[in-house]
């Protein structure tokens, strides 16, 4: 009986020890969330937490985040990267420049997934993401929307692995260098007497495979690849051609990466080398027929040398060529912009649209290695609304127009008709067609054509004449085309409507002194040749107008007239030398 009592007591003690901790756990309490914070002080978005944790610069509400409009979860789609993020608050999506859609699980067409095959790799992503990745790796987009899960997609990528496919044909062990997928297909070779075995990254010439394929001195170009490759005795692709490895058994065993092959990264990409076939198309070389130490292929040079402008260019580069100086009204009459391209060692010429309706721009793209790559393009010449801009900042807004700000003159907004009416019988500064100015090779206007260019001195007349000038006036600034458009000189309507915008009437006033002598009081600068030069600068900046030169270097001043009190003024010889220097012809 004594022993039995001790047993009961032991059981009671153990039971009490177990129940005490459970009683303490039931008494433990935690503070409950009492607000939805659009953003917390720690930077988290849309959290159910204590109100004191909310960032005071953002919204909060005493309810669950699921019940709010600003924290409602949906699908955030990044149209540039092709990424879809489920259960994303609208605020977070908008701040990240994404497109928010009221579908928390992203059941939208843009988010449908498929298998993106990238060479020997694959990724289960959206079509837009696949295009983005393909572009980054310089590959064609291969999107398989018939693949419905990531496992199948990965298996598809594994099928692209390259290596030695070993099998027997007529009881002789042989090999093909191919992909895993092609190798593991059922027997496809006539006379094949065994199943195939695939050895990833092995060459058919590897001794341990014990095939009838071995090293050779033959080389070849492989479709879709830049480099020159060795061929084994069975005609299979081996490693990149390296004349120093012809008898190196280790070089004929497994695939060696391009980065570990001869001449990797050299500046000329092994162009013309007789011993190394590690070509690189992006650096300017590619496999082609030619003399080498072994085989009949080498890396041919794709770059262009001693081009029209005397410079050397990389394969694929493009650059601009002009008939003279360009910009700030300098383009000569009959000039045109051209885009030149270096393609596989040949310099090709692509003219931009005639009448300078297109202009050529070029820029330098910096590569990761710090090397610049020149690219040029013909783009629409956006000159038509230049003279409508009164502010310099608007004029120089290159996002909207192609203009430049010319200091020293401004447009008054008055019409040509009003300028002519104000002139009365007083001498004027006028101009018109240049007639006999010939030249040009592009079919563009070969002569500068102007509307009436009026300027001059009013020494008398009624008070109405002396009130103000009209057309272009001295002082301030004017917004004019950076590259003036060419004009059809045979079409007066086309030419005069543009050139007449440069007409000018300048009213010079005098005050009479003793003995009836007059003293110039206002606009005295209009009597100087500097006035005629500035007005002419406005003229040729509008188009093929005024006194200027053509691409043959021939100058004419038939496009302007400068009159003072009806007397035509002589345009100085300094005009010609200055204008030729500006045009660069």
For residues 539 and 402, state if they share a domain. yes
Rounded CA-CA distance 305/283 in Å is 14
Q: What is the DSSP letter of 304?
A: B
Domain end, chosen from 232, 266, 301, is at: 301
For residues 291 and 400, state if they share a domain. no
For residues 399 and 540, state if they share a domain. yes
* Residue of 484, 490, 461, 465 whose CA lies nearest to 544: 484
Rounded CA-CA distance 538/411 in Å is 10
Rounded CA-CA distance 576/155 in Å is 76
For residues 411 and 264, state if they share a domain. no
Residue with tokens 């007349």: 461
Domain end, chosen from 301, 324, 341, is at: 301
The pLDDT of residue 186: 61
Rounded CA-CA distance 544/352 in Å is 18
CB 85 within 8 A of CB 98: yes
Q: Are strands 372-380 and 228-231 parallel, antiparallel or unpaired?
A: unpaired
| Secondary structure class of 465 (helix, strand, coil) | helix
For residues 395 and 529, state if they share a domain. yes
Residue 264's Cβ-count burial label (10 Å; 0-12, 13-18, 19+) is middle
| Secondary structure class of 359 (helix, strand, coil) | strand
For residues 263 and 401, state if they share a domain. no
Structure tokens at 496: 């005069």
Answer whether residue 108 is part of any domain: no
Residue with tokens 């345009």: 571
Structure tokens at 90: 């609208």
* Residue of 228, 288, 287, 290 whose CA lies nearest to 262: 228
CB 471 within 8 A of CB 413: no
Rounded CA-CA distance 311/575 in Å is 33
Which structural domain range is residue 250 located in?
A: 162-301
The pLDDT of residue 69: 75
Q: What percent of the chain has pLDDT over 90?
A: 42
Answer whether residue 326 is part of any domain: no
Answer whether residue 241 is part of any domain: yes
The pLDDT of residue 452: 35
CB atoms within 10 A of CB 565: 15
Rounded CA-CA distance 211/177 in Å is 12
Please state the domain count of the chain.
2
Structure tokens at 319: 């650059």
Rounded CA-CA distance 177/181 in Å is 12
Spatial CB neighbours of 118, under 8 Å, sequence gap ≥ 6? 133, 134, 137, 139, 142
For residues 414 and 552, state if they share a domain. yes
CB 159 within 8 A of CB 179: yes
Backbone phi, psi, residue 387, to 5°: -70, -10
The pLDDT of residue 279: 96
- Rg over CA atoms, the chain: 40
Answer whether residue 378 is part of any domain: no
pLDDT 10s digits, 31-82 = 567 888 888 888 888 888 888 889 888 888 888 887 787 787 889 998 888 8
Answer whether residue 534 is part of any domain: yes
Sheet containing strand 35-39, strands side by side: 45-49, 35-39, 60-61
- CA of residue 220 relative to chain centroid, distance: 36
Answer whether residue 63 is part of any domain: no
Backbone phi, psi, residue 152, to 5°: -65, -35
In degrees, rounded to 5, the angle at the alpha carbon of residue 532 between the alpha carbons of residues 529 and 538 is 145
Rounded CA-CA distance 60/65 in Å is 9
| Secondary structure class of 535 (helix, strand, coil) | helix
Q: What is the DSSP letter of 54?
A: B
Domain end, chosen from 265, 281, 301, is at: 301
CB 443 within 8 A of CB 457: no
Phi-psi sector, 566: left (phi>0), alpha (psi -120 to 50), beta: left
Spatial CB neighbours of 336, under 8 Å, sequence gap ≥ 6? 323, 351, 352, 354, 356, 442, 444
For residues 546 and 400, state if they share a domain. yes
Backbone phi, psi, residue 41, to 5°: -65, -25
For residues 424 and 551, state if they share a domain. yes
For residues 293 and 409, state if they share a domain. no
For residues 412 and 560, state if they share a domain. yes
Answer whether residue 336 is part of any domain: no
Rounded CA-CA distance 454/465 in Å is 14
Rounded CA-CA distance 272/305 in Å is 15
* Residue of 258, 267, 377, 362 whose CA lies nearest to 314: 267
Residue 511's Cβ-count burial label (10 Å; 0-12, 13-18, 19+) is exposed
For residues 452 and 567, state if they share a domain. yes
HSE at residue 54, side-chain half, CA atoms within 13 A, is: 21
CB 383 within 8 A of CB 485: yes
* Residue of 549, 381, 533, 383 whose CA lies nearest to 472: 533
CB atoms within 10 A of CB 153: 20
Q: Which ranges of the chain have pLDDT less than 70? A: 1-32, 186-188, 367-370, 413-468, 489-494, 514-516
Answer whether residue 87 is part of any domain: no
């Amino acid at each position: 009986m004594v022993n039995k009592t001790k047993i009961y007591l032991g059981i009671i003690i153990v039971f009490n020890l177990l129940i005490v901790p459970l009683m303490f756990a039931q008494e433990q309490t935690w503070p409950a969330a009492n607000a939805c914070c659009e953003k917390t002080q720690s930077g988290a978005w849309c959290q159910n937490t204590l109100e004191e944790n909310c960032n005071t610069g953002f919204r909060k509400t005493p309810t669950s985040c699921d019940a709010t409009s600003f924290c409602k979860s949906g699908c955030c789609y990044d149209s540039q990267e092709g990424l879809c993020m489920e259960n994303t608050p609208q605020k977070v999506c908008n701040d990240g420049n994404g497109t928010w859609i009221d579908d928390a699980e992203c059941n939208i067409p843009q988010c449908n997934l498929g298998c993106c095959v990238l060479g020997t790799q694959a990724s289960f992503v959206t079509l837009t993401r696949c295009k983005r990745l393909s572009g980054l790796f310089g590959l064609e987009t291969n999107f398989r929307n018939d693949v419905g899960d990531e496992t199948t997609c990965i298996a598809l990528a594994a099928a692209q692995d390259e290596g030695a496919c070993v099998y027997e044909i007529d009881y002789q062990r042989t090999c093909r260098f191919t992909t895993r997928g092609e190798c593991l297909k059922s027997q496809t070779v006539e006379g094949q007497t065994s199943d195939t075995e695939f050895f990833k990254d092995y060459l058919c010439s590897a001794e341990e495979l014990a095939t009838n394929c071995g090293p050779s001195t033959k080389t070849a170009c492989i479709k879709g690849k830049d480099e020159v490759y060795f061929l084994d005795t069975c005609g299979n692709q081996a490693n990149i051609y390296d004349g120093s490895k012809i008898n190196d058994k280790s070089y004929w065993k497994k695939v060696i990466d391009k980065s570990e092959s001869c001449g990797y990264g050299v500046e000329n990409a092994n162009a013309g080398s007789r011993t190394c076939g590690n070509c690189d198309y992006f650096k300017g070389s590619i496999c082609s027929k030619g003399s080498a130490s072994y085989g009949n292929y080498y890396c041919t040079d794709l770059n262009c040398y001693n081009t029209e402008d005397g410079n050397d260019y990389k394969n694929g580069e493009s650059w601009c060529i002009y008939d003279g100086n360009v910009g700030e009204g300098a383009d000569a009459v009959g000039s045109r912009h051209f885009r030149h391209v270096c393609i596989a060692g040949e310099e090709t010429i692509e003219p931009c649209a005639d009448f300078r309706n297109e202009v050529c721009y070029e820029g330098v793209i910096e590569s990761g290695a710090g090397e610049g790559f020149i690219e040029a393009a013909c783009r629409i010449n956006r000159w038509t609304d230049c003279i409508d801009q009164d502010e310099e900042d608007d004029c120089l807004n290159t996002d909207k127009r192609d203009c430049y700000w010319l200091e020293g003159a401004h447009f008054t907004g008055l019409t040509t008709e009003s300028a002519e009416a104000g002139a009365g019988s007083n001498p004027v500064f006028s101009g018109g067609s240049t007639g006999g100015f010939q030249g040009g090779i592009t079919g563009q206007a070969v002569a500068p054509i102007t509307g009436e260019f009026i300027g001059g001195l009013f020494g008398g007349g009624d008070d109405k004449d002396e009130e103000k000038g009209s057309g272009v006036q001295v002082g301030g600034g004017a917004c004019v085309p950076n590259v003036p458009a060419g004009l059809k000189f045979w079409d007066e309507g086309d030419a005069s409507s543009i050139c007449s915008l440069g007409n000018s009437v300048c009213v010079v006033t005098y005050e009479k002194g003793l003995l009836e002598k007059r003293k110039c009081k206002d606009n005295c600068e209009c009597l100087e040749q500097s006035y005629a030069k500035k007005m002419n600068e406005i003229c040729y900046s509008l188009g093929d107008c005024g006194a200027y030169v053509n691409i043959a270097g021939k100058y004419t001043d038939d496009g302007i007239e400068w009159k003072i009190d009806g007397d035509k003024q002589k345009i100085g010889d300094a005009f010609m030398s200055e204008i030729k220097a500006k045009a660069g012809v």
